[in-house]
């Protein structure tokens, strides 16, 4: 097994070689605070000394709940330096999930940071857990304070050594269904995945050719594997600048100022970008301008610059499937979206679309040193040294997730061509059976529906119904259109989609729901994937009534 530099070793390298170079840019009250590698190291070393003074057993689990910020990274480094294991928690979970993760992971310490609704999760704090609050610029809490704790301690000296087999982190899956599972990764898995992704020029090219350094923009939850791997690990392994978003309201401004060389978005972000562009420039006008050679270049540059993506070498999409039409739409603007595919269980290290090698409908080819095969059911099986050790305190689930020869069962169905380009065709466990006894895979149908730019989210359902129906959540921009216009538009979309489906898959009804599906109302995961079970629970009592109505498009 080859050895690679681990994240802590990479941090120490930049701390030694580039002590005065800015590492992180944190917006607070509209102003950018900066942390050099030396400053970040000093705070991390001081907090590591605080943790060491607690005399916890080596490899203790330390939980962390916060939105992305400079001290999320500093805290993670301190946990590494102190010889412990990080347990990141999504910053928008409820009290029950907070209680479950902290209790299940047996974490004696919890760091509480930048949060919008601590009151909503505070009741889930298990008794006996020591809580440390991030610096007061992120919010004020009645807990021990970071600034006070590190003020009078000496920074941990030297360079703590961590072995490849040492546990690095336990990441609890956001889960579209069921209870979160704690995915255990060691240092080798993270080192292996990051090093090989950056080592091969055909995968990711981080630095800006003009400066020799890269810039990352961190806004998707760092508790999610994709953000942790690409943004945190990417900045640590390349010595690049790391920018954060202050809030949802300042997101666009912060992104435009950061001008990242690599940007990761989930499909919903790309969809919102599209809606924002079309709200300022209708599609017909955009088409006319893009058809004029000189004007086309100006328009493309203006749009990319307005988004803050004019310096991006890579624009990535991950976490859930993105409609091919959306990739094509941005491609016409000169913004090439590279789809990536992976899971928490394999460090998000599986497949990626190489730059200038986009095949619409495909998530790309395997990452270096990833072996792929398919089960008889069509399930995608992957093997690499980035695969997890297993699920924490869940041996049965671990056994079910690996084949006897060590391949990870992804739960996704797919097919690959001779060059290894992978196309996802659905989820193994999301198949449902209609009243006619026919199985339906909802994901591919939802992808076709979401090619309509007015549809934000789609959830195809139909257990026990003669034919499937679909629940639709519309884009906010669709509110400017009349109900009559939207009804006609959705009828047309359903008819066009049905032409591409088998008889038993064709949609009988489309129900346009009143309220948006959000993370806050527990209908989306923190990475913006629909939670099928909660959505079904909310609407299933009305399926038969809707099915019996004569209209094809029904407004809730």
Which residue in this structure is represented by tokens 């992120």? Answer: 138
Helix (H, G, I), strand (E, B) or coil at 104: helix
Tokens linked to 373 = 């095969």
Cβ–Cβ < 8 Å for 510, 207: no
The Cα 226–Cα 305 span in angstroms is 25
For residue 340, the 8-state DSSP code is E
- pTM over 0.75? The answer is yes
Please give the structure tokens belonging to residue 436.
């006619």
CA angle, 194 then 199 then 202, to 5°: 110
DSSP 166-217: SEEEEEE---SSSS--EEEEEHHHHHHHHHHHHHSTTT---S-TTTS--EEE
What phi and psi, each to the nearest 5 degrees, are found at residue 318? -155, -170
Phi, psi of 87 (to 5 degrees): -130, 85
Predicted local confidence at residue 273, as pLDDT: 92
Closest CA to 433 of 446, 442, 421, 424: 442
Alpha-carbon separation of residue 362 from 334, 365, 377, 381 (angstroms)? 19, 8, 19, 16
Q: What is the DSSP letter of 306?
A: H
Q: List per-residue pLDDT tens for the chain, 556 residues long.
A: 678 999 999 999 999 999 999 999 999 999 999 999 999 999 999 999 999 999 999 999 999 999 999 999 999 999 999 999 999 999 988 899 999 999 999 999 999 999 999 998 999 999 999 999 999 999 999 999 999 999 989 999 999 999 999 999 999 986 555 678 999 999 999 999 999 998 766 778 776 666 667 999 999 999 999 999 999 999 999 999 999 999 989 999 999 999 999 999 988 889 889 988 998 888 999 999 999 989 999 999 999 999 999 999 899 998 877 888 899 999 999 999 999 999 999 999 999 999 888 888 899 999 999 999 999 989 999 999 999 999 999 999 999 999 999 999 998 889 999 999 999 887 787 777 787 777 788 888 998 998 888 898 999 998 878 899 999 999 888 878 899 999 999 999 999 999 988 888 999 999 999 988 987 888 888 777 888 888 988 998 899 899 999 999 999 8
DSSP class per residue in 456-517? EEEEEE-TTSSS-EEEEEE-GGGGGS-HHHHHHHHHHHHHHHHHTS-GGG---EEEE-SSPP
Question: How many Å apart are CA 530 and CA 527, to the nearest integer?
Answer: 9
For residue 479, what are its two tokens? 């509110």
Instruction: Name the CA dihedral angle for 325, 331, 337, 341, rounded to a multiple of 10 degrees.
Output: 40
| Pairwise CA distance, residues 298 & 165, whole Å | 52
Q: Please, what are the domains in the chain? A: 7-230 (3.40.50.980), 262-310+313-427 (3.40.50.12780), 432-555 (3.30.300.30)
Residue 210: the pLDDT is 66
Residue 519 three-state SS: coil
10 Å Cβ neighbour count for 18? 15
Q: How many CA atoms lie within 13 A of 189 on its CB side?
A: 28
Cα 369 from chain centroid (whole Å): 23
Cα distances (Å, whole numbers) of residue 447 to 329, 434, 459, 470: 15, 20, 10, 12
Q: How many CB atoms lie within 10 A of CB 145?
A: 16
Chain position carrying tokens 């998707």:
220
Name the 3-class secondary structure at 472: strand
Separation between Cα atoms, residue 346 and residue 370, nearest integer Å: 10
């Amino acid at each position: 097994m080859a050895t690679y530099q681990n994240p802590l070793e990479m941090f120490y390298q930049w701390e030694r070689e580039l002590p005065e170079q800015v590492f992180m840019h944190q917006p607070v009250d509209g102003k950018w605070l900066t942390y050099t590698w030396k400053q970040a190291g000093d705070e991390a070393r001081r907090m590591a000394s605080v943790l060491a003074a607690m005399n916890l057993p080596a490899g203790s689990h330390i939980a962390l709940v916060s939105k992305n910020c400079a001290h999320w990274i500093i805290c993670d480094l301190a946990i590494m330096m102190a010889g412990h294991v990080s347990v990141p928690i999504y910053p928008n979970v409820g009290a029950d999930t907070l209680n479950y993760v902290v209790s299940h992971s047996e974490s004696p310490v919890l760091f509480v940071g930048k949060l919008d609704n601590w009151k909503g999760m505070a009741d889930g704090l298990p008794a006996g857990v020591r809580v440390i609050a991030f610096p007061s610029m992120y919010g004020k809490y009645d807990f021990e304070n970071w600034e006070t704790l590190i003020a009078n301690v000496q920074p941990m000296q030297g360079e703590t050594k961590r072995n490849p087999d040492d546990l690095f982190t336990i990441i609890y899956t956001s889960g579209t269904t069921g209870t979160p599972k704690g995915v255990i990764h060691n240092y080798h898995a993270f080192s292996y995945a990051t090093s090989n992704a950056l080592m091969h020029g055909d995968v990711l090219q981080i630095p800006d050719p003009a400066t020799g350094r890269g810039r990352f923009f961190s806004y998707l939850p760092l508790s999610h594997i994709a953000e942790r791997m690409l943004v945190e690990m990417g900045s640590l392994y390349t010595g690049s600048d790391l920018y954060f978003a202050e809030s949802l309201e300042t997101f666009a401004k912060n992104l435009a100022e950061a001008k990242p060389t690599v940007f990761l978005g989930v499909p919903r972000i790309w969809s919102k970008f599209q809606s924002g562009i079309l709200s300022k420039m209708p599609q017909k006008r955009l088409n006319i301008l893009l058809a004029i050679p000189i004007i086309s270049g100006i328009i493309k540059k203006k749009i990319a610059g307005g988004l803050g993506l004019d310096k991006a070498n890579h624009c990535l999409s991950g976490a859930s499937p993105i409609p091919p039409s959306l990739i094509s739409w941005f491609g016409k603007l000169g913004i090439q979206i590279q789809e990536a595919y992976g899971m928490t269980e394999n460090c998000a290290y599986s497949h990626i679309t190489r730059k200038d090698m986009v095949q619409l409908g495909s998530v790309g080819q395997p990452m270096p040193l990833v072996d792929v095969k398919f089960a008889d059911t069509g399930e995608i099986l992957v093997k690499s040294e980035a695969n997890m050790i297993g699920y924490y305190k869940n041996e049965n689930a671990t056994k079910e997730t690996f084949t006897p020869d060590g391949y990870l069962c992804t739960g996704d169905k797919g097919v690959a061509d001779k060059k290894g380009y992978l196309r996802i065709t659905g989820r193994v466990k999301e198949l449902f059976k209609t009243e006619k006894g026919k199985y339906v895979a909802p994901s591919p149908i939802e992808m076709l529906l979401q090619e309509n730019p007015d549809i934000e989210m789609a959830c195809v359902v139909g257990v026990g119904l003669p034919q499937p129906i679909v629940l639709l959540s519309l884009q906010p921009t669709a509110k400017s259109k009349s109900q009559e216009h939207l009804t006609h538009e959705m009828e047309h979309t359903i008819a066009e989609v049905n032409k591409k489906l088998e008889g038993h898959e064709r949609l009988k009804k489309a129900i346009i729901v009143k309220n948006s599906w959000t993370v806050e109302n527990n209908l989306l995961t923190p990475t913006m994937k629909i939670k099928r079970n909660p959505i079904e629970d909310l609407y299933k009592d009305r399926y038969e009534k809707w099915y019996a109505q004569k209209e094809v498009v029904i407004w809730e």
